[in-house]
Structure 1
């Protein structure tokens, strides 16, 4: 082996293939650099949405800090080549206070700043996160942290929000009515996942506890609820409640739909229930959409 002095970092880097930087001839200051995105000519079509997605960013949902997965975009005029992507993060940063507060007012401010800084007609965002909340056991009332997935989608045009959606996915227990009916004893049950996507009526006031209201509608209509902590007396209550309230996936979405339909601030909704079947290798699902 050749005796090479690799005692300093520069020597080690060059040993592994690094080379000295070239002097170069292109500008090094922003003012002298070409701005391709701002090129003006006919680029054939307007573009409805261009931006970034799969952006991981800190958020605050309820009383807990969480992590959000964002998609943010603006429109793009026919005579413009592209948008300045860095301004998207700059716009999001204006509302960062230990994380982005996932509430409609805060997200509207992000969209207004984004549209203004991009100098475009419209902006939009979608963010998915996990909402953590305290949920005591049903009998012993031992407090613990439960969770549900939430989704916000908003669109902004001409200095106003034109579309607002709120979604939630909660996990529950479902017990098969057919299994209970035909079996001498017991009945198979499984974990179910209920997802709703709500179109919010901009002319109605959304209550401050809207997340709790939606979560309640999802879980109360299932055979039984899921809890972070269960002692034996709690487990007895949960098991017996499931047996007393058998639900097909079709039953569950209809019962949830009834409760969601009664919310004055919801003008349309989609519901899906998916069961991870315990006696099959496939899942069962039911899905519906309703507009008032």
Structure 2
């Protein structure tokens, strides 16, 4: 058995089975390598979307840096074998400014660069992350950071958006109307999740406060709101408000839907409300779709 000098890293590596590189015959310079992605012939079908997903990347949502989970893709012509996927990351880097600002102006810029750089007809993006914002306690006004999950999804074809969506999930409090009605005292309540995906009307100017406006719609229709910090006087306000505003999950989804229909920049939506029931092992949910 060959002996190796274990005082060196190379010797230790070989002792554990590493071998010297094979010289090989394949080219080492890029200009000499085969470019399979750019092969041209009849590949049977045009592909709607091809790209990468589960990409973790820094983003800026509102006033705070956050982390986004990206899916980036383009179309692919029938006579092209593949896309150069490294260019997806390279394009994303061009809009990175200590994090990608998540707004539709930046998204439009990114999708235009993706489409042009890949020489395709369309490009698309979906990214989700956490939006952090200040939410003072209701009575004492103590500042603290709250959060909601948000998602941006868009497709740019030619010179216009063919899909422009914004989604949000907010947590709320719901108090059971039936429990309040039948019980001598108290009523069971639970944390609810209100999730919506909005189809944005691109012919209407999106207000600067669209995130705040949507968050208010999702939580104001619930029995009560959630807060990062509550002192005793705040807690009294929150629990009494919940008791004054009992909501079935069916009530909540209808009230939220009415307010969404009233927003002129909303073209349509998919809405789900889910209660993490406090007296059952299951959740209760309701879903609703609407197009103007």
Alignment match, 1:120? 120
Q: How does 1:56-75 map to 2 (within 5 A)?
A: 56-75=56-75
Alignment match, 2:287? 287
Distance 2:3 2:192 in 1: 66
Gaps of 5+ in 2: none
Alignment match, 2:8? 8
Gaps of 5+ in 1: none
Alignment match, 1:239? 239
Q: How does 1:252-291 map to 2 (within 5 A)?
A: 252-291=252-291
Distance 2:192 2:71 in 1: 28
Distance 1:7 1:137 in 2: 63
Alignment match, 1:161? 161
Q: How does 1:31-42 map to 2 (within 5 A)?
A: 31-42=31-42
Say if 2:4 and 2:11, in contact at 8 Å, map to a contact too.
no
Tell me whether 109-118 or 17-26 shows the greater mean CA deviation: 17-26
1:170 aligns with 2:173: no
Distance 1:18 1:40 in 2: 40
Distance 1:34 1:4 in 2: 39
SS in 1 for 2:259: helix
Distance 2:59 2:114 in 1: 18
Distance 1:15 1:241 in 2: 71
Say if 2:4 and 2:12, in contact at 8 Å, map to a contact too.
no
TM-score by length of 1: 0.98
Q: Runs of 4+ in structure 1 displaced over 4 angstroms?
A: none
Distance 2:68 2:95 in 1: 14
TM-score by length of 2: 0.98
Distance 2:15 2:253 in 1: 65
Distance 2:153 2:288 in 1: 19
1:100 aligns with 2:105: no
Alignment match, 2:249? 249
SS in 2 for 1:60: strand
Distance 2:159 2:39 in 1: 26
Alignment match, 2:218? 218
Q: How many residues align?
A: 291
Distance 2:76 2:23 in 1: 37
Tell me by how many angstroms 1:136 deviates.
0.4
Tell me by how many angstroms 1:53 deviates.
0.4
Distance 1:51 1:232 in 2: 51
Distance 1:37 1:44 in 2: 15
C-alpha distance after superposition, 1:14-40 (max 9, x if no partner): 111111111111100110000111111
The RMSD of aligned alpha carbons is 1.1
Distance 1:248 1:149 in 2: 23
Distance 1:190 1:285 in 2: 13
SS in 1 for 2:12: helix
